[in-house]
C-alpha cells in the first residue's frame, strides 16, 4: 500500500518523512490540495530504482540484438568473460 502524506507534512514534519523514506524501501507520495504532487524517496531507493531501469534497458538492447541475429555462441562468451577476469 503506498504511503501518502500531505505537503504540509513535508514542510512541518520533514524528519518524520525522512525516517519513513529510510524505513520503507518505497516512495512516499506527497499530495497538494488532495491531489498527487510529488514523490519522495531515500537515496538508496532511488539508486535501486535507477539500477533496475538501467538493467531493463540493457536487457532490451540484448533482446533487440537477438532479433537482429547478432549473437555469439555461449562458449565464446564464457571464454571472453574468463579472459577478462584473469587479467
**Full strand arrangement of the beta sheet holding 35-40:** 3-6, 28-32, 35-40
The whole-model pTM stands at 0.72
**Strand 28-32 vs strand 35-40: parallel, antiparallel, or unpaired?**
antiparallel
Residue 31, helix vs strand vs coil: strand
Which three cell numbers mark 75?
562458449
Question: Is the CB of residue 30 less than 8 Å from the CB of residue 6?
Answer: yes
Q: What is the pLDDT of residue 2?
A: 84
Compute mean pLDDT per 10 residues along the chain, 87 residues long, and list them. 91 95 94 96 96 97 95 93 92
Amino acid at each position: 500500500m503506498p504511503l501518502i502524506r500531505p505537503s504540509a507534512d513535508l514542510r512541518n514534519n520533514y524528519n518524520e518523512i525522512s525516517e519513513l523514506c529510510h524505513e520503507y524501501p518505497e516512495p512516499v507520495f506527497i499530495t497538494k490540495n488532495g491531489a498527487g504532487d510529488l514523490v519522495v524517496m531515500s537515496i538508496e531507493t532511488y539508486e535501486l530504482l535507477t539500477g533496475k531501469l538501467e538493467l531493463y534497458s540493457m536487457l532490451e538492447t540484448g533482446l533487440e540484438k537477438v532479433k537482429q541475429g547478432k549473437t555469439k555462441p555461449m562458449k565464446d562468451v564464457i571464454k571472453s568473460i574468463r579472459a577478462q577476469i584473469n587479467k
